[in-house]
Amino acid sequence: MSQLWLKTWKSLLIEWCWPPVVLTSTPCLQVLLPAAGLLQLQDVKKTCCEFLESQLHPVNCLGIRAFADMHACTDLLNKANTYAEQHFADVVLSEEFLNLGIEQVCSLISSDKLTISSEEKVFEAVIAWVNHDKDVRQEFMARLMEHVRLPLLPREYLVQRVEEEALVKNSSACKDYLIEAMKYHLLPTEQRILMKSVRTRLRTPMNLPKLMVVVGGQAPKAIRSVECYDFKEERWHQVAELPSRRCRAGMVYMAGLVFAVGGFNGSLRVRTVDSYDPVKDQWTSVANMRDRRSTLGAAVLNGLLYAVGGFDGSTGLSSVEAYNIKSNEWFHVAPMNTRRSSVGVGVVGGLLYAVGGYDGASRQCLSTVECYNATTNEWTYTAEMSTRRSGAGVGVLNNLLYAVGGHDGPLVRKSVEVYDPTANTWRQVADMNMCRRNAGVCAVNGLLYVVGGDDGSCNLASVEYYNPTTDKWTVVSSCMSTGRSYAGVTVIDKPL
């Protein structure tokens, strides 16, 4: 069969099926691939499979997996399954996941290869799937919980989230799994080793190559520039610019997209939100927040994007709102106890922490910290930091919360402290190599990276990382092309 003919088919498929193909909306594929198999047109079948592989995305990989299984496309089946495992946190937000049958859900969540930041993702996925058709599905809770590795969850999450979940309370078998997890936490280390079950076994995902995305910032004015750092290649490259200038924004990675939330455009504090698709290298606007916010904190908790505190142009904010990607809507949740602009946020153990900041009213930088429980919709104070920090970078590594740099009035800090939620205590770790405030922070491959910021006199293009094993900071040899503070920073999976 001629290569020209195959290229023509491939171009037609791309024209019919882009953006990411959802099989129910592409009858061409539903007819072409089975026909190719029936007529033994192996080249056509291979072309279809290659095209579908190129289209794998969190919203469609489960459908492609089922389609490949139906038509005996073994290689595509394996690749779609691997993709679903590697992008589990985003896949479970899709309609395809919510519409899976019980056997397919059990098969997915029992995999040792799930790439997840915490076992919380699996528990929350189970609850979301059951609640999607609760009357029918709640009878499957025990079967599903058999595959959730509850002993690997933090104690606080077990007590405050799992134990309080009505679907768990209503099942004696689920309570047994919870008791098993509690016992695991109470046992000494040597006895834990003897307590062997599939639920005490660590998942061993294949590490996907990662990119660090640095969005906008002040250099010295608000800029549109976006650049990525490839950890494997150890180099920076430019990607699509923001639709408009933006600094002091919140930044998260959710459902395969990067979200830039609020911020300052050089003249106004904004409510606008833009999302970046790394596969298409393209920015798109989504629903505006309800409030204008710059120097806010942003984080993802239970599949929702939270925008925390910030500054609206006249006052520091205590208000908090959440974004539902499925409905493309923002809604307010309980406000913090304290107004916080220049606040850092992070999620540990199923709780959202707001760290330090500036309260505006007393004109003081803050050492106080509070955490949000989405189940009770309440904010509670936790242990204070040892020092006041506004504009601190906040990151989560190994279930610990790091507060990096920041400032107290004119004093810019290089000190770093870490919070252990289990003990409700902060402790100092090694100082950074340089003073930084308003820097971006992210965790990847067991290291904590701090990006840019300013030292009190100029914006920084340098990046350094902290290794908790050695308690040392190391400066990355390759700098950003632009010194920038107040940039948004997050880590994404490198596009295929």
| Angle subtended by helix axes 27-38 and 3-17, to nearest 10 | 150
Give the type of residue at 425.
Answer: T
Could you tell me the pTM of the whole model? 0.72
CATH 2.30.130.10 fits 212-493, yes or no: no
**Nearest 5°: phi and psi at 75?**
-65, -45
Report helix, strand and coil shares of the chain as percent, to nearest 5: 30, 30, 45
- CA dihedral (142, 146, 149, 154) positive or negative: positive
pLDDT in tens, the chain (496 residues): 444 444 444 444 444 343 455 554 444 445 445 544 454 546 666 777 887 888 888 988 998 898 888 877 888 899 999 999 989 989 999 999 999 999 999 999 999 999 887 899 999 999 999 999 999 999 999 999 999 999 988 888 898 899 999 999 999 999 999 999 998 888 876 666 667 788 988 888 777 789 999 999 999 999 999 999 999 899 999 999 999 999 999 999 988 899 999 999 999 999 999 999 998 899 999 999 999 999 999 999 988 999 999 999 999 999 999 999 889 999 999 999 999 999 999 999 889 999 999 998 778 999 999 999 998 999 999 999 999 999 999 999 999 999 999 999 999 999 999 999 999 999 999 999 999 999 999 999 899 999 999 999 999 999 999 999 999 999 999 999 999 999 999 999 887 6
What is the secondary structure of 165-221 as a DSSP string?
-HHHHT-HHHHHHHHHHHHHHHS-HHHHHH---GGGSPP-PPPPPEEEEEE--BSSS
- In this structure, what token pair is assigned to residue 322? 């959440």
- CA dihedral (108, 111, 115, 118) positive or negative: positive
Residue range(s) of every CATH 2.120.10.80 domain in the chain:
212-493
Cβ partners under 8 Å of residue 190, min gap 6? none
Residue range(s) of every CATH 1.25.40.420 domain in the chain:
1-194
Which fold would CATH assign to domain 1-194? 1.25.40
